[in-house]
């Protein structure tokens, strides 16, 4: 179905076999699909804002107050990513078992508590430990994507996931505006000392996170068909009703486009032939229902080539974004000292804020490619293109190490375009692969994003303030990894559903 402006606020048309929406009512939070989308992106946004609330104030204020060394600074970034890696790996199976909505709520509340405790930190080691626990917030990305995948059909799921992820990721940019602004206000308008002001500032993200978590708990739904525990029974009822009452109905999803010509055959033959599209669609719908996989099934997903063909590029794109997001303010401050903490923070914010436009672009382009090619291969090649282009921009920034503001900011913006698009393109393919274990797959891919971030952060750690050198190293790795997995078929042979 083509896009219409009214899709932004009208209740969407749904796939009759699984009740997934075929459009995204972005401007209609009263509709359950619009409400799911709203909490998906806003929940991840506030999580990202708090997860990255330290770097904007860490450049000068917190580092000076706690007497932190460059090694302490780098170690705190590494631990923030490590906490997320651990919880993301666990969040996938938890989503399959308990449903993504409750896992989402759990991540937000578990991260809100250490956020409120930031004011108790008095030593560099204390800060490093605290950032590990605040890292729980970064794991909210996994239930965000699994929840979206459960509510939106194949024709728009890439766009829905990319929009939710992109708008959520922008929290990493917004925090570079918000935290310095709160800090400056507390110092100038409330008369607090810097020692007290930065600690009080962390109460703000705590309040916002808690409010969003309560909204998720009391106003949202587990699945389009009802409770998570009843998803299988609800789907079976829907399939039975549609096949029996509308035998020729053929939802507009991949696998139901075949034309079944009915010639002058027997009446029973004609009925069977008329039912074929619906039966095919029913099989696909059943294959896409998330189950609680056995250990053997889970291991088959974990060690699948298709899983790692998605995870490896994401380790470079999202991992690179996380690592660069942690140091970009310091990098700007090094090359352009006159900007100061607030000025460098504002320019650093732009790197994260471009997610608003370009991570969704990655998913939208992926969905458009799929609409015209009906090929998951084509979607995957889009990931490869974005990943290689991203690596080229990283090479350019690292090798040139610009000291001219326009050149630096232009190259970083170009990097953000393809880095964000690569992230969005990746999770436009994830719903097609192992759909029965979408939580496990999303958890693995999401966790490898953090693993990449940790690896790159460690490289930054041992290169001190030689930021440019590390960025071109990341670029070389990104190009190599994307090309190395480009040959792997995107969907396993004989897979039911998700094609």
pLDDT digits (tens, 9 = 90+) for 93-132: 899 889 999 999 999 999 999 999 998 999 999 999 999 9
CA angle 328, 356, 434 (to 5 degrees): 100
Give the pLDDT confidence of 211-263 residue by residue, as tens digits: 999 999 999 999 998 888 888 776 677 667 666 655 544 444 343 333 333 34
Nearest to 372 by CA among 487, 257, 287: 257
Give the per-residue pLDDT at 284: 52
What are residue 345's phi and psi, to 5 degrees?
Answer: -65, -40
Return d(Cα 312, Cα 471) in angstroms, integer: 18
Nearest to 385 by CA among 489, 488, 483: 483
Q: How many CB atoms lie within 10 A of CB 483?
A: 13
Q: How many CB atoms lie within 10 A of CB 284?
A: 23
What is the band of 288 on the pLDDT scale with cuts at 50, 70, 90?
low
Question: Any idea which residue has 């310091």 for tokens?
Answer: 330
- HSE-CB at 241 with a 13 A cutoff on CA atoms is 10
Give the per-residue pLDDT at 97: 87
Give the per-residue pLDDT at 74: 86
Average pLDDT, the chain: 86
Give the per-residue pLDDT at 293: 67
Give the per-residue pLDDT at 256: 37
Return d(Cα 91, Cα 397) in angstroms, integer: 35
Could you say which of 3.90.220.20, 1.20.1250.20, 2.60.40.1180, 1.10.10.10 is the CATH number of the domain covering 18-225+291-484? 1.20.1250.20
Give the per-residue pLDDT at 358: 94
Question: Any idea which residue has 């690292």 for tokens?
Answer: 398
Give the per-residue pLDDT at 214: 96
Share of the chain above pLDDT 90, in %: 57
pTM: 0.77
Give the pLDDT confidence of 173-222 residue by residue, as tens digits: 888 889 989 999 999 999 999 999 999 999 999 999 999 999 999 999 99
Return d(Cα 437, Cα 148) in angstroms, integer: 14
Return d(Cα 443, Cα 437) in angstroms, integer: 10
Give the per-residue pLDDT at 242: 67
Q: How many CB atoms lie within 10 A of CB 372?
A: 8
Give the per-residue pLDDT at 274: 45
What is the residue extent of each domain of the chain?
Answer: 18-225+291-484
* Residues composing the chain: 499
Give the per-residue pLDDT at 246: 57
Judged by DSSP in three states, 152 sits in strand
What is the band of 271 on the pLDDT scale with cuts at 50, 70, 90?
very low
* Average of per-residue pLDDT across 345-356: 88
Q: pLDDT at residue 448 above 80? A: yes
What is the band of 266 on the pLDDT scale with cuts at 50, 70, 90?
very low
Give the pLDDT confidence of 361-386 residue by residue, as tens digits: 999 999 999 989 989 999 999 999 99
């Amino acid at each position: 179905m083509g896009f219409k402006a009214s899709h932004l606020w009208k209740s969407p048309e749904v796939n009759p076999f699984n009740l997934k929406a075929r459009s995204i009512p972005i401007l209609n939070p009263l509709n359950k699909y619009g409400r799911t989308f709203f909490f998906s992106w806003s929940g991840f946004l506030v999580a990202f804002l708090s997860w990255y609330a330290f770097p904007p104030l860490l450049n000068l204020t917190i580092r000076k107050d706690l007497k932190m060394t460059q090694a302490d600074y780098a170690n705190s970034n590494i631990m923030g990513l490590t906490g997320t890696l651990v919880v993301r790996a666990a969040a996938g199976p938890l989503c399959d078992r308990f449903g993504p909505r409750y896992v989402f709520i759990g991540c937000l509340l578990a991260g809100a508590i250490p956020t409120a405790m930031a004011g108790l930190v008095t030593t560099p080691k204390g800060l490093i430990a605290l950032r590990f626990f605040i890292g729980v917030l970064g794991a909210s990305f996994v239930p965000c994507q699994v929840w979206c995948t459960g509510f939106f059909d194949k024709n728009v799921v890439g766009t829905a996931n990319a929009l939710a992820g992109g708008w959520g990721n922008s929290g990493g940019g917004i925090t570079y505006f918000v935290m310095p602004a709160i800090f400056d206000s507390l110092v100038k308008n409330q008369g607090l000392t810097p020692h007290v002001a930065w600690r009080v500032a962390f109460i703000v993200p705590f309040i916002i996170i808690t409010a969003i978590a309560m909204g998720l708990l009391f106003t949202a739904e587990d699945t389009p068909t009802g409770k998570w525990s009843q998803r299988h029974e609800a789907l079976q009822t829907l399939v039975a009703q549609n096949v029996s009452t509308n035998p020729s109905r053929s939802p507009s999803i991949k696998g139901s486009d075949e034309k079944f010509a009915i010639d002058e055959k027997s009446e029973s033959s004609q009925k069977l032939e008329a039912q074929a599209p619906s039966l095919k669609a029913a099989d696909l719908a059943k294959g896409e229902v998330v189950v609680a996989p056995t250990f053997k099934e889970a291991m088959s997903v974990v060690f699948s080539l298709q899983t790692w063909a998605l995870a490896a590029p994401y380790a470079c794109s999202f991992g690179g974004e996380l690592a660069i997001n942690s140091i970009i303010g310091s990098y700007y401050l090094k090359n352009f000292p006159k900007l100061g903490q607030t000025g460098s923070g504002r320019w650093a914010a732009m790197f994260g804020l471009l997610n608003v436009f370009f991570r969704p672009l990655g998913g939208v382009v992926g969905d458009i490619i799929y609409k015209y090619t009906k090929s998951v291969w084509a979607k995957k090649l889009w990931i490869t293109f974005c990943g290689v282009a991203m690596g080229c921009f990283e090479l350019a920034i690292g090798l040139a190490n610009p000291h001219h503001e326009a050149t630096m900011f232009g190259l970083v913006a170009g990097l953000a375009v393809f880095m964000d698009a690569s992230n969005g393109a990746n999770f436009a393919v994830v719903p097609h692969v192992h759909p029965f274990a979408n939580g496990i797959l999303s958890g693995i891919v999401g966790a490898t994003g953090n693993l990449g971030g940790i690896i790159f952060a460690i490289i930054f750690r041992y290169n001190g303030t030689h930021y440019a050198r590390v960025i071109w190293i990341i670029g070389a790795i990104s190009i190599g990894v994307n090309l190395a997995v480009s040959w792997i078929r995107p969907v396993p042979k004989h897979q039911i559903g998700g094609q």
